[in-house]
Chain A
Amino acid sequence: MDKLKEIIEKTFSRRRFIAAAGGVAAASTVVGLTGCGGSSPHSPVTTTPTGGKFTDTDVLNFALNLEYLEAQFYLYAATGKGLSSADTAAPSGYAGSYTEGTVTAGSAAMVAGTNTQQQDIINEIAYEEQQHVRFLRSALGSSAVPMPSIDLSFFGPLAMTAGITGPTFNPFSSFDYFLVGAFIFEDVGVTAYAGAAPLISAAGVTAGYLTAASGILAVEAYHAAYIRTAITANAIAAGSASAYPYFTAANQVAALRATLTVGNSGAPSTATGNNGAPGSSSSVETALTLPTSKTQASAIVAADPTNAVGFARNVNQVLHVVYGSPTVGTAKGGFFPNGVSSIFATTTA
């Protein structure tokens, strides 16, 4: 656990400058290529871009990996068990190379001590993420990758790296801890779909993939809004951050997510990359705020502070978060001990 933190800090300090500088250079080049009108049609986003090959199937399978993770987390939280094997096995006729992984449950269990309203919320999100797995598997047919190995015991190390103090972090130990655990995923899900939507090919748009992806994007944002609203409302009711430490914990998670992607390949909302400070002009994170009077604003929405347009993360940025590693070239770790089952498995920036 300390090792992870050490790795992050070392990498952060050493790579930050170089990576950020690289991001600037890359972006500048593109400015020169596209001119100021931004008038290129949708054509840059095709199934087989020049110099590289990825397909709509690859994009959707990347999303499926994330949905497997979310579904397992929420299903364990709701029921104490995960996806049924019919939802994790390789589909009939699957000809790919990935094999079905296993779930390291750790302390995963039904969230303890919930009331009916809270249980109904967990049930809702669990059901909806399960259906996303089924929907994507159905859409992908025999091309759907089976579930990769997932480690639900990674919450503890992640929380410790984030600096969350107190007893060992366990998102299944109470509803409040569950909210913080969910916070780790939800904004990431939103931004991942936002980043993926423009990658879908023109043919994929016609086929309805973009509509499906943006519809799932919206659902992830509904979920994220629930989590952020619940934490904010509880903190307001408690009167201070210290009286509701889960509020601070959530913001520590946001700060860690930012740190994990620092300097990596440029946040889509910026030209210079993510400097790691939530709320700053070049971050893809919005920290929760704690209004103490009726004239102050909450910060339920995670969006860029200038235009209030939601953030996007590219696949590298998503992987840095779920692998718990800022290191370029990482192919596995964190929630995915054997990596995601995707051609995008290795971080390249």
Chain B
Amino acid sequence: MPKQETEILDDVIVRNRRKMLTIGGIALAGFVLPTVLSKDAYAATTYSDSDILNFALNLEFLEANYYYLSAFGCTIDKPNAAAIAAGAPSGGIPITGSVGTPGTVSAMGSSSTGTPFTTIQVSSYAVETAIEEGKHVLFLQSALGSSAVAQPSISLDVSTWSALAQAAGVIPSGGAFTPYDTDDDFLVGAYVFEDVGVTAYHGAAPLLTMSANLSAAAGILSVEAYHAGLIRTAINAADPTGTSIAAYTTKISALRAALALAASPTTLSGAAANPYDTNPDDYGVTTFTTPSGLGGGAAVTATRITDADQTNVVAFARTTTQVLNIVTGSGAVKNNAVVSPATGIFFPAGLNAGPNGFK
């Protein structure tokens, strides 16, 4: 046992090395699709690990640009002095790729200083997360090599954020919201992304065929969950009684859950219930009463730093269609049928994906 186990881990270790993680041109005819995912209606049956990692890359472009704009006031490809001082690559993060022309990022306007944070806590979280999400872009680009897609067009401007905030009921119809004004606003903006990232990597992990890719995905999954836990902790600290931004999180989670349900395998095809059909699959940062007691004792009130199902406390997973429906604001499903390419909200022109990819 010991030797074999070590060998397996060494195998993972070595193939997990960045320069080893090139997967272009690999035949994946032997791909074993977990049965629970076979109903993902529009996914081509011939998709590869590259397609899955490119789907993740699109999401990382979105996240990284949001955090760069918040922390530094620039996009990932054009780092300013503040970004470089914090550790951003001085030449910028590449946004070119083998599929698609690099899209632009529409943001909040002419500000080049980022969010005017008032606390060191929230500001340092933004800086840390920006650098880490930027590294995820670079890591996936490195792993994909010549297969990496270009950055899609991304909208992070006031119209997008306002539409989202209105849909969630965070602001009244016709109101305006951007996450670039205050510490609290930044946290709300970050909240929109982070748990989605967790569910996306969680949903994708079992689809990957190569153990090195699986290890990498598991590692990024853990980082996304750290980010999500960080944001939820900060929101809980800022609003422990759930009267302001914590209340928003409940509305945002409800919106995400509704968009996920509309794109769930059962909704789309009448497939038997599976782990991706959990509804709701999202909870805001509020207290709840535990469904069962602690030890032999009674039920208790608890916070909800963790976004997971209440019984087994396993984080939620979403299919690519569900994730697309969330990040495009219901662009992936119309009348119970999948729409591809999905466009809207953060991705006005859709994602960049190869012929068998996810968009």
Chain A residues proximal to chain B, CB less than 8 Å: 26-27, 29-31, 34, 36-42, 44-45, 49-54, 75, 78-79, 81-84, 117, 120-121, 123-124, 126-128, 130-132, 134-135, 190, 193-195, 197-199, 202, 205-206, 208, 210-212, 214-226, 228-230, 232-233, 236-237, 265-271, 291-304, 306-312, 314-315, 343-344, 348-349
Does B123 belong to the interface (CB within 8 Å)?
A: yes
**B residues within 8 A CB of A130?**
294-295
Question: A135 with B313: in contact, given A271-B17, A294-B124 (CB under 8 Å)?
Answer: yes
Q: How far is the CA of A13 from the CA of B149 in the complex (A)?
A: 48
Does B252 belong to the interface (CB within 8 Å)?
A: no
**B residues within 8 A CB of A224?**
226, 229
Q: Can you give 30 contacting A-B residue pairs, CB < 8 Å?
A: A27-B10, A30-B10, A30-B11, A39-B210, A45-B8, A78-B300, A120-B302, A123-B300, A123-B301, A132-B312, A135-B311, A206-B32, A211-B202, A214-B206, A214-B221, A214-B315, A216-B314, A218-B222, A222-B308, A225-B228, A233-B233, A236-B120, A291-B123, A296-B127, A300-B226, A301-B128, A301-B227, A312-B215, A314-B9, A348-B6
B305: contacting residue among A216, A222, A300, A309, CB under 8 A: A222
Q: Once the chains bind, are A308 and B225 in contact (CB under 8 Å)?
A: no
**B residues within 8 A CB of A78?**
294, 300
- Which of A218, A223, A314 has the most CB atoms of chain B within a 10 A radius of its CB? A218
Q: Once the chains bind, are B287 and A205 in contact (CB under 8 Å)?
A: no
**B residues within 8 A CB of A268?**
9, 12-13, 16, 215
**A residues within 8 A CB of B34?**
205-206, 208, 211
Q: Once the chains bind, are B2 and A349 in contact (CB under 8 Å)?
A: yes
Does B240 belong to the interface (CB within 8 Å)?
A: yes
Question: A124 with B305: in contact, given A194-B218, A198-B12, A212-B314 (CB under 8 Å)?
Answer: yes
Question: A295 with B9: in contact, given A38-B210, A312-B219 (CB under 8 Å)?
Answer: no
Q: How far is the CA of A36 from the CA of B287 in the complex (A)?
A: 50
B205: contacting residue among A195, A210, A306, CB under 8 A: A210
B285-328 CB mask vs A (1 if < 8 Å, else 0) is 00100100011110011111111100111111100000000000
We find that the number of chain B residues with CB closer than 8 angstroms to chain A is: 101
Chain B residues proximal to chain A, CB less than 8 Å: 1-18, 20-23, 26, 30, 32, 34-36, 82, 85-87, 117, 119-121, 123-125, 127-128, 131-133, 135-136, 138-139, 198, 202, 205-206, 209-212, 214-216, 218-230, 232-234, 236-237, 240, 275, 287, 290, 294-297, 300-308, 311-317
Q: Once the chains bind, are B295 and A218 in contact (CB under 8 Å)?
A: no
Q: Once the chains bind, are A44 and B211 in contact (CB under 8 Å)?
A: yes
**B residues within 8 A CB of A53?**
1
Q: Once the chains bind, are A219 and B303 in contact (CB under 8 Å)?
A: no
Report A63 CB to chain B, min CB distance, Å: 12
**A residues within 8 A CB of B198?**
218
6 interchain residue pairs of minimum CB distance: A225-B229, A52-B4, A310-B222, A221-B225, A215-B314, A348-B2
Total CB contacts across the A-B interface at under 8 A: 363
Q: How far is the CA of A47 from the CA of B308 in the complex (A)?
A: 29
Q: Once the chains bind, are A295 and B219 in contact (CB under 8 Å)?
A: no
Q: How far is the CA of A217 from the CA of B125 in the complex (A)?
A: 22
Q: Once the chains bind, are A208 and B275 in contact (CB under 8 Å)?
A: yes
Q: How far is the CA of A153 from the CA of B228 in the complex (A)?
A: 32
Q: How far is the CA of A252 from the CA of B312 in the complex (A)?
A: 33
Q: Once the chains bind, are B305 and A298 in contact (CB under 8 Å)?
A: no
Question: A218 with B202: in contact, given A225-B227, A310-B220 (CB under 8 Å)?
Answer: yes
Q: Once the chains bind, are A128 and B308 in contact (CB under 8 Å)?
A: yes
**B residues within 8 A CB of A197?**
205, 214-215, 218
B139: contacting residue among A26, A208, A308, A312, CB under 8 A: A308
Q: Once the chains bind, are A265 and B225 in contact (CB under 8 Å)?
A: no
Q: Smallest CB-CB separation from B305: which chain A residue? A: A226
Q: How far is the CA of A160 from the CA of B211 in the complex (A)?
A: 39
Q: How far is the CA of A232 from the CA of B124 in the complex (A)?
A: 10
**A residues within 8 A CB of B82?**
295
**B residues within 8 A CB of A348?**
1-2, 5-6
**B residues within 8 A CB of A306?**
18, 135
A194: contacting residue among B26, B121, B131, B222, CB under 8 A: B222
A310: contacting residue among B2, B9, B221, B228, CB under 8 A: B221
Q: How far is the CA of A200 from the CA of B287 in the complex (A)?
A: 35
